[in-house]
Chain A
Amino acid sequence: MNKHFEQRKYLILGIIIITGLIILIKLFYLQIINEEYKVSALNNSQRHIIQYPPRGIIYDRDSNILASNTVAYDIMVIPGQVKPFDTVQFASQLNISVKKFKQRLLKARHYSYFKASVFFKLLSAKEYASFQEYIHHYRGFYVQPRLVRDYPQKLAPHVLGDVGEVGKKMVESDDYYQAGDYIGLNGLEKYYEKELRGEKGLKIYLVDAHNRIKESFHDGMYDKKPVAGKNLICTIDSRLQAYGKKLMRNKLGGLVAIEPKTGEILAMVSNPNYNPNILIGRKRGYYYDSLLMTDHKPLFNRAVNAAYPPGSTFKVAQAIVALDEGVIDVNTAFSCNKALIGCHNHPNASSITEAIQYSCNPYFHQVFKRLIQRGYEESVFRDSPLGLDLWKQKISNFGFGSRLDIGLPSVNPGFIPGSDYYNRLYGEYRWAFSTIYSLSIGQGEIGVTPVQLANFASIIANRGWYYTPHLIKRIEERGLETKYKQKHVLPFDTSIYAPVVDGMEGTVNGDIGTARLARIEGIILCGKTGTAENPHGEDHSIFMAFAPKENPQIAIAVYVENSGYGGTWAGPIASLMAEKYLLDTIQVKWKEDRILDAELIPKEEKEETTSSND
């Protein structure tokens, strides 16, 4: 019986030998015939090392550095090379808990046993100095330098913005970025990201079995050299900026100063402020979150993003439009009829110049009525929309209600209401001049940002033209961007400006002006006060000005939130800024001290009126 089944061993042996043959054939195919797998292996044993270029430096208008690069140190780990060591000591040197320390080590191990990964990010040079002497105790750890942003003057965080690790969305949408890369996240850093970042380079190496770099791949034929980022020369005057920051301390609000001849922004301050360097480095997330939580939104750039009602500063614009439309002439007089709208005590204005100097509300009530009710239609309900749209078209010439492309990624366009807006609000033919008269004195639905108001002051200073305000004077190797070379000339007769400017001169320098505190000895400062009614609390103090009267060098707008009359706080601050810029010194010390000592931030938490459109 056994003999019979013994034959079966041949089938079994056959199966085994055939299996062996099939495996040998497949191996022969894989290892000798097929080339595809050898090419794949080549890819696997190359190391692509990205070469990061230095980010472009941002200088101020006098070549002082505003943003530069500094070295920070990443602690790297290769888990396979780590030797037992004193974790408690190491963790305490890095100021993290032992538990966290072990988690990080585990994470690195999980990523790869043989490949290096970042263990601890961005040790500052100072931290590194104290850590440096210990690092050789810890096998498998080494330090890798990396360039990070530094803001040596700690100035203008809202203008410069900041740099941080690129977000996930960006990595997915833009091929240039890889996780861990840095990118400008706000301000100029974001707007000029393409110029500042340069181009990453690439070095390809071959590595041996122990992950050690052996040689450059094809003698560097496929390497790419990094291209350094372009330097930017900013229009900011660091000294003026620093002075503005000092004056705005303990106040809420924004301030913008422009050189009228060029549109260059000399200073742009928003308060509350912060040190831009805290957003760079390891603790960015922590500081960013805490800034988000802080009262009065320090991250919010009031200078370009807060649209306030312009208050009486707007009367200057009303005067120009009224003169241009011919609804009044230079010598039109209106009595100060407080029945129409409230006013303070002053002589009746017998000309447009006096009306501006006294800032007479009833005067501009009547001027605006003439602008709105033009008599094209019988019914005031049909007439007012026509007048309002005509007015809006003229007023928009000053740059109100549209976004100024100044070089920042986020800019508020402000708001000038037209008939469509009120039709939506009240219904068609359901409103007339009587509904909207508060626009005459810059109250109500109008929203103007500090930079728009400064640009407006600049237009008056130039008597009818402007360059778009901008923050970058020159991009290295490229010069000024063409969009900032284009002169915008307003369609008003140049003779219109003289009486208005005289009124602004009187506001500050006349006997009965509203801004006598803003006077500068020896310089004629032309200005206009404003007070924006704030339903949520104390009024906002507003001032716009330029100086000197002839050949103006500086135009300026200041908003101080919740502080009362324009002449009380905003005026003196604008005046000090102009004096500092023009004379480089402050002649009357007490005026400066008064501002520096003032603490105008409301004590209790109030809802803010940073936008007037609500």
Chain B
Amino acid sequence: MIKRRYNILKHIDWISVLIYLLFMIFGWISILSSSWNGEKSTLFDFESRQMKQLIWIAVSLVFIFIIFLIDSKFFSVFAYLLYGLSILSLIAALFIGKEVSGTKAWIDFGFFRFQPSELAKIFTGLALAQLISKYNFDLQKLKHLVIAFLFILVPMGIILLQNDTGSALVFLAFILVFYREGMNQTFLFIVFLAIGLFVLSLLIHLYWIIGGLALIAIIFFWLNEKSNKQTIIAILIPATFVTGLFFFNALVLHKLNLNTMLSIGIIAAIIVLLPNIIRFKRSNIIVLSIIVASSVLYLNTINFFYEEVLRQHQRDRIEHLLGMKEDPLGIGYNVNQSKIAIGSGGFSGKGFLNGTQTKFDFVPEQSTDFIFCTVGEEFGFLGSAFVVILFVVLITRIIIMAERQRSKFSRVYGYAVASIFFAHFLINLGMTIGLMPVIGIPLPFFSYGGSSFMGFTILLFIFLRLDANRLEVFR
């Protein structure tokens, strides 16, 4: 036993541990700065946030110790069981949960409020690692990919029911894991295309996008065919359809708007041309046609979804993010105040405890979701860049470590850890500096809160534990 412990310590990745410790200290200092009112007598007040957080840090250290006592096989053997338990606790929160600012994501134990979704992230990671590392499991097969997706969609769905959109979105990060483990590239392309088209559809009128798509398709067609005659035909056929529809609508129907007519015209033209395209057996043109047709359908669907399904406040948030609305005291208040706080930090910041913006409630949720404001204000660009770089270093370090694993289980789990950190890093900082909508999720190791700090600690150290054993395991 003692010999083994010695071995483990020798193989622990001390770079990650060092970054963890830096985050822990920097994070606690930020919480102190944003919660403490500057009076000496309240510094060690056990009701204060800085002292509570200190307790969670201590508890987390105990967890690290326990993780290193447990045999590394435990995590793969019990992966499904733990995953099942975390799903149960998510469901439990839905029924016996305590409502905190509109979400039902917490179970109250009196002395401790626990957020099951923090555990669900870890155990979903373990379960996916177990699933994907199974012999014969191949993500290139659609059936297996669907199973893998079910593993993340189940907890995601329950968390969405809890009204905790932020935590649910994090689970989408596991797509990166799937990609690394062999998922078809097309899926990734489709995801990016879908997101890109969605954002575009909010920024400019739909008929511009559809027209643009048609133009790109025609240029692509011309480049491919090198035939002016064919190209003119490819332009004329949809144009005839659209014009015909335009007159039909103007004279008879009076119901369609421009983008509906464009959409119908283009799709009808593709359907008419389809036999020809297939006959020529040009796979490029076939793919192009499919992309254009499905993009047009998709755009119309999200347009309907956006106008008819989303609620006003959700539209407001998205629209503010995309700069379509200017209202410093309305929906964008948080972000605006947060930008003021970070911006006022300048190059080197105002100094520890000297921030004025991150106190007096100028920035709401100061010590939780918007903790990065305090970093930005008091430690300036130097401090905030340091944190950003440290996060990038940690995530890349985890990926590099994942790649050196001999066991597939450990590698997949490593990618899961990196993906979760990346999702939090992207969404939280993106929100704080106004690059993303206001989606409340914590910044790992910085935001105040026991569940999240312990959750991220366990998430990271299970991987460090697996990594420390990497030479022993050949699975």
Contact residues of A with B, CB < 8 Å? 1-2, 5-6, 8-9, 11-13, 15-17, 19-20, 22-24, 26-28, 30-32, 34, 36-38, 40-41, 44-45, 80-81, 112-115, 207-211
Contacts and interface: CB of A to CB of B under 8 A. Distances in A.
A210 B392 contact: no
B183 to A, nearest CB: 9
A9 to B, nearest CB: 6
11 contacts: A5-B180, A17-B392, A19-B426, A27-B388, A30-B339, A32-B381, A37-B344, A38-B346, A40-B340, A44-B356, A80-B37
Contacts of A15: 176
B134 to A, nearest CB: 14
A334 to B, nearest CB: 79
A480 to B, nearest CB: 49
A114 B179 contact: no
A112 B361 CA distance: 7
B343 A41 contact: yes
Given A9-B399, A16-B396, A209-B353, A28 B37 contact: no
Given A9-B180, A19-B426, A34 B359 contact: no
Contact of A27 (B381, B395, B426): B381
Interface string B364-391: 0000000000001000110011001101
B426 A81 contact: no
Given A31-B384, A38-B343, A115-B361, 12 more contacts: A5-B180, A9-B399, A16-B396, A20-B391, A24-B389, A28-B385, A30-B433, A36-B343, A113-B360, A114-B361, A208-B354, A208-B356
B299 to A, nearest CB: 25
B28 to A, nearest CB: 18
A114 B37 contact: yes
B340 A37 contact: yes
A211 B380 CA distance: 21
Contacts of B37: 80-81, 114, 210
B399 A12 contact: yes
Interface of B: 37-39, 176, 179-182, 339-347, 350, 353-357, 359-362, 376, 380-381, 384-385, 388-389, 391-392, 395-396, 399, 403, 408, 415, 418, 422, 425-426, 429-430, 433-435
Contacts of A40: 340, 343-344
A355 B11 CA distance: 127
Contact of B396 (A6, A13, A209): A13
B433 A17 contact: no
A44 B361 CA distance: 11
Nearest to A112: B361
Contact of A31 (B39, B343, B360, B392): B343
Contact of B357 (A6, A9, A41): A41
A30 to B, nearest CB: 5
A44 B399 contact: no
B121 to A, nearest CB: 18
A5 B182 CA distance: 6
Nearest to A26: B433
Given A5-B180, A5-B182, A210-B38, A27 B356 contact: no
Contact of B39 (A23, A45, A81, A209): A81
A9 B340 contact: no
A28 B360 contact: no
A105 to B, nearest CB: 16
Contact of B360 (A30, A41, A115): A115
Contact of A23 (B181, B341, B418, B433): B433
A511 B391 CA distance: 112
A24 B387 CA distance: 10
A36 B342 CA distance: 12
A455 to B, nearest CB: 55
Contacts of A81: 37, 39
A222 B319 CA distance: 39
Contacts of A16: 392, 395-396, 399, 418, 422
Contact of A32 (B346, B356, B430): B346
Smallest CB-CB A-B distances: 9 pairs = A37-B343, A41-B344, A20-B392, A210-B38, A45-B356, A31-B381, A114-B360, A30-B343, A40-B340
A209 B179 CA distance: 48
A225 B415 CA distance: 66
Contacts of A38: 343-344, 346
A2 B180 CA distance: 10
A208 B426 CA distance: 32
A313 to B, nearest CB: 63
Contacts of B418: 12, 16
B403 A20 contact: no
A8 B403 CA distance: 11
Contacts of A115: 360-361
Q: Give the residue among A1, A6, A16, A115 with the most B Cβ atoms within 10 A.
A: A16
A405 to B, nearest CB: 44
B464 to A, nearest CB: 19
B360 A211 contact: yes
Contact of A44 (B181, B340, B384, B429): B340
B354 A27 contact: no
Contacts of A20: 388-389, 391-392
Contacts of B360: 112-115, 211
Q: Give the residue among A8, A12, A15 with the most B Cβ atoms within 10 A.
A: A12
Contacts of B415: 12
Nearest to B345: A31
A41 to B, nearest CB: 3
A62 B121 CA distance: 85
Contacts of A1: 182
A485 to B, nearest CB: 52
Contacts of B350: 209
B388 A30 contact: no
B383 to A, nearest CB: 10
Given A44-B357, A209-B354, A24 B343 contact: no
Contacts of B180: 5, 8-9, 12
Nearest to A210: B38
Nearest to A206: B356
Nearest to A2: B408
A9 B347 CA distance: 34
A31 B345 CA distance: 6
Given A13-B396, A23-B433, A208-B354, A30 B342 contact: yes
Nearest to A111: B361
Contacts of B385: 24, 27-28
A37 B339 contact: yes
Contact of A17 (B347, B354, B361, B396): B396
Nearest to A113: B361
Contacts of B39: 81
A114 B37 CA distance: 8
Contacts of A5: 180-182
Contacts of A13: 396, 399
Contacts of B340: 37, 40-41, 44
A460 to B, nearest CB: 65
A12 B176 contact: yes
Q: Give the residue among B176, B360, B376, B418 with the most A Cβ atoms within 10 A.
A: B360
B356 A41 contact: yes
Nearest to B351: A209
Nearest to A11: B179
Nearest to B426: A19
A298 to B, nearest CB: 45
A597 B362 CA distance: 67
A45 B354 CA distance: 11
